[in-house]
Amino acid sequence: MLYVPFENFEIESTLSPDEVKERIANHIETNMPLFKLFYSGGKEFKGKIRDDHFLISRIIRYNNSFLPMIEGTIYPNNFGSNIKITMRLHKLVFGFWIVWMAMVFLISLGFLRNLLSSPGTISLIPLLMLIFGYFIGIIPFNIEVNKAKRLLQEIMIH
């Protein structure tokens, strides 16, 4: 499990860079309908691929703000290709999550100071909110990272 919503990894493939690009392109929907409930194209990802670079995310039929953005670059090697991939949160989601966590952290510090001077369980609520806020971001992100990683490996290796 990742402790931050960010992951770098590489996939090695025996396919040439052009074959990898073609495989990725075959699994990317470039013209998504406005309402994804009406999408029935059968592709796993939406986004774009240009030259040796792609920026995609998984197509899901549910809402998940913590769906990773997948950025990759394809490099040739002696045996085929290396695909360097970075998965991260959308910048707006990450920014909102950090601001929310920072505000709850500052409130928790104030309540923690009060808890040390006069113990009471009500003072633990902001600390529990901080823990909950952390896990509500990390767990869905990690679940989606694992799904996307498995799909990408299937596309590029098999």
Residue pLDDT, tens place only, 115-134: 777 766 566 788 888 899 99
The pLDDT value recorded for residue 130 is 87
The pLDDT value recorded for residue 80 is 92
> What gap in Å lies between CA 118 and CA 3, rounded to an integer?
33
The pLDDT value recorded for residue 20 is 95
User: How many Cβ atoms are within 10 Å of 75's Cβ, its own excluded?
Assistant: 12
The pLDDT value recorded for residue 119 is 66
The pLDDT value recorded for residue 114 is 76
Cα separations (Å) of 88 from 43, 60, 123, 138? 21, 17, 33, 11
User: How many Cβ atoms are within 10 Å of 112's Cβ, its own excluded?
Assistant: 14
User: Beta strands 28-29 and 6-13: pairing type?
Assistant: unpaired
DSSP tag of 31: S
**Domains of the chain, start order:** 6-92+133-157 (3.30.310.80)
The pLDDT value recorded for residue 110 is 82
The pLDDT value recorded for residue 121 is 58
Indicate left, alpha or beta for 47 from its phi (over 0: left) and psi (-120 to 50: alpha): left
Residue 67, SS3 per DSSP: coil
Residue pLDDT, tens place only, 61-71: 888 899 999 99
Which residues, in sequence order, are CB contacts of 126 under 8 Å at separation 6+?
A: 104, 107, 108, 110, 111
Ranges under pLDDT 70 in the chain: 1-2, 32-41, 119-123, 158
Residue pLDDT, tens place only, 132-150: 999 999 999 999 999 999 9
What are the strands of the beta sheet with 6-13, ordered from one edge? 6-13, 80-88, 69-77, 53-58, 45-50, 28-29
Structure tokens, 55: 């920026």
Residue 70, SS3 per DSSP: strand
